[in-house]
């Protein structure tokens, strides 16, 4: 692949398309942006090497906040048709039920989600299946030449190629590793009878520092019962191999409370494993091209902010910047920088990065500062449990489920001050 900045490339021998915006990469970011721009009547080209998004372990759960962004982008009904909603979330700490949250979350398989969104593309924005052979960017026009010789001319180029480096590298943009091999995401199916798993979502936090576990969460995707576990280890760690060889045995040793909640569960699939580094981008402030989603930055999946970053990028671009950029001639770097300097985008990126770094440190660091922070958080959590028990002691509670109702009923009872309240409900 070659790239040119601000120079004309020779005319392509075969097809040529002229659009407002060319998007390279039809994952979540590229497809949602194409849908959003198509709704606004823009001429868009969307290019990806695969007609059907390939099967891979990626995001499987998101929160009400992200649902709000799908709604804002006009994609609420499509997203809802591809997701399993849940409202009753049980959180376990120290081996016991700590909190019951009544809040909306949505589970999905990433590949059907992306394919379902692609299927919603209107006929005037088809997916172009092809590989980019050449990219040229400049202050006025951008050009993509595909390996079949066809060319796409655009006023703006959007790179949404996720972890893939080819197009980013061709344009001359560098990925900076802020935290290499930061965490490992593990995904697998569970076999549990409906009687044993009546609950919609369970989250178990790790008990010991040495285990390096952020948390395990169990939830339904349609009829499937899915587990996502996030650990602060590298893929080469022998612990990972041992876990993959006998996940059931390891789970029972690490979190025996699972058996208490889920009875005779079995791990019913291979354990999929993905290593993730925290990365940012250097050299992206340039004429004619903008980087979004994982093509711009990657954060830790355990914090569930990846989709939030993707949707924030798309929302900022489609509702504010692209309409303004297309109104006046040219697409120089000064215009493009308005997106990277948008306080809403900056806040979403910073929140994701900060939470990723904090969660790993509070879970794994053994220095005095972090031991004291953990002591503070855990003492407050134990006090919360104790206060509830004390309050409920005189009440005629007939079943454990009734007790759990009480746990969920009064979130205002949290004794923690503002400073640590969010740290208590998160790692």
Strand, coil or helix: what is 33? helix
Contact between 132 and ligand FAD per CB under 6 A: yes
Quick one: which segment of 21-29, 196-204, 254-262, 407-415 binds ligand FAD (CB under 6 A)? 21-29
Q: How far is the CB of 81 from ligand FAD (least distance, A)?
A: 19
Contacts with 196 (C-beta within 8 Å, 6 or more apart), sequence order? 262, 263, 264, 265
Quick one: which segment of 133-141, 190-198, 248-256, 297-305 binds ligand FAD (CB under 6 A)? 297-305
> Which member of 136, 142, 185, 364 binds ligand FAD (CB under 6 A)?
185
Contact between 58 and ligand FAD per CB under 6 A: yes
Distance CA(178)–CA(360), nearest Å, equals 13
Q: Which of 3, 49, 7 is nearest to 24 (CA)?
A: 49
Q: Residue 234 — φ and ψ, nearest 5°?
A: -95, 160
> Which member of 139, 206, 306, 427 binds ligand FAD (CB under 6 A)?
306
Distance CA(350)–CA(344), nearest Å, equals 10
Contact between 83 and ligand FAD per CB under 6 A: no
Q: How far is the CB of 42 from ligand FAD (least distance, A)?
A: 19
Distance CA(105)–CA(125), nearest Å, equals 30
**Residue 359 or 384 with smaller CB distance to ligand FAD:** 359
> Which member of 12, 34, 61, 316 binds ligand FAD (CB under 6 A)?
61
Where do the H-state alpha helices sit in 161-221?
A: 166-171
> Which member of 10, 50, 223, 399 binds ligand FAD (CB under 6 A)?
50
Distance CA(395)–CA(401), nearest Å, equals 14
> Which member of 166, 268, 337, 416 binds ligand FAD (CB under 6 A)?
166
Q: Which of 266, 243, 264, 254 is nearest to 190 (CA)?
A: 266
Cross-strand bridge partners of residue 84: 107
> Which member of 53, 93, 100, 175 binds ligand FAD (CB under 6 A)?
53
Residues 261-290 that bind ligand FAD (CB under 6 A): 274, 276
Strand, coil or helix: what is 270? coil
Distance CA(208)–CA(213), nearest Å, equals 8
Contact between 349 and ligand FAD per CB under 6 A: no
For binding to ligand FAD (CB under 6 A), which residues are involved? Answer: 24-30, 47-50, 53, 57-62, 132, 160-164, 166-167, 185, 274, 276, 293-295, 301, 304-308, 310
């Amino acid at each position: 692949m070659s790239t040119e900045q601000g120079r004309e490339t020779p005319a392509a021998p075969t097809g040529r398309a002229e659009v407002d915006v060319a998007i390279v990469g039809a994952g979540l970011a590229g497809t949602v942006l194409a849908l959003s721009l198509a709704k606004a009547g823009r001429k868009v080209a969307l290019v990806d090497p695969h007609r059907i998004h390939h099967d891979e372990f990626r995001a499987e759960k998101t929160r009400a906040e992200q649902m709000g962004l799908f709604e804002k982008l006009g994609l609420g009904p499509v997203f809802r048709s591809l997701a399993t909603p849940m409202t009753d979330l049980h959180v376990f700490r120290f081996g016991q039920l700590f909190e019951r949250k009544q809040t909306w979350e949505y589970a999905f398989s990433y590949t059907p989600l992306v394919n379902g969104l692609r299927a919603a593309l209107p006929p005037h924005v088809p997916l172009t299946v092809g590989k980019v052979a050449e990219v040229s960017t400049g202050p006025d026009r951008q050009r993509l030449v595909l390996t079949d010789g066809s060319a796409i001319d655009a006023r703006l180029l959007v790179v949404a190629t996720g972890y893939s480096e080819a197009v980013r590298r061709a344009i001359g943009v560098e990925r900076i590793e802020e935290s290499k091999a930061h965490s490992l995401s593990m995904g697998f199916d569970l076999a549990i009878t409906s009687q044993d798993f009546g609950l919609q979502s369970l989250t178990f936090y790790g008990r010991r520092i040495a285990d390096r576990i952020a948390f395990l969460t169990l939830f339904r995707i349609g009829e499937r019962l899915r587990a996502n576990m996030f650990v602060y280890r590298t893929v080469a760690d022998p612990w990972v191999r041992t876990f993959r060889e006998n996940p059931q045995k390891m789970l029972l040793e690490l979190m025996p409370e699972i058996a208490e909640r889920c009875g005779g569960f079995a791990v019913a699939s291979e354990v999929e494993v993905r290593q993730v580094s925290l990365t940012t981008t250097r050299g992206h402030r340039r004429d004619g091209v903008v980087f979004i989603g994982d093509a711009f930055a990657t954060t830790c999946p355990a914090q569930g902010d990846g989709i939030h970053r993707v949707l924030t990028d798309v929302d900022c671009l489609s509702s504010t910047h692209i309409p303004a950029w297309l109104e006046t001639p040219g697409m120089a770097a000064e215009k493009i920088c308005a997106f990277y300097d948008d306080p809403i985008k900056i806040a979403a990126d910073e929140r994701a990065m900060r939470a990723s770094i904090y969660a790993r440190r509070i879970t794994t660091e053994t220095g005095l500062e972090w031991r004291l922070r953990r002591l503070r958080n855990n003492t407050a959590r134990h006090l919360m449990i104790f206060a509830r028990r004390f309050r409920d002691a005189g009440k005629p509670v007939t079943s454990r489920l009734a007790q759990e109702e009480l746990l969920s009923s009064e979130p205002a009872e949290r004794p923690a001050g503002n400073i640590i309240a969010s740290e208590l409900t998160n790692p």
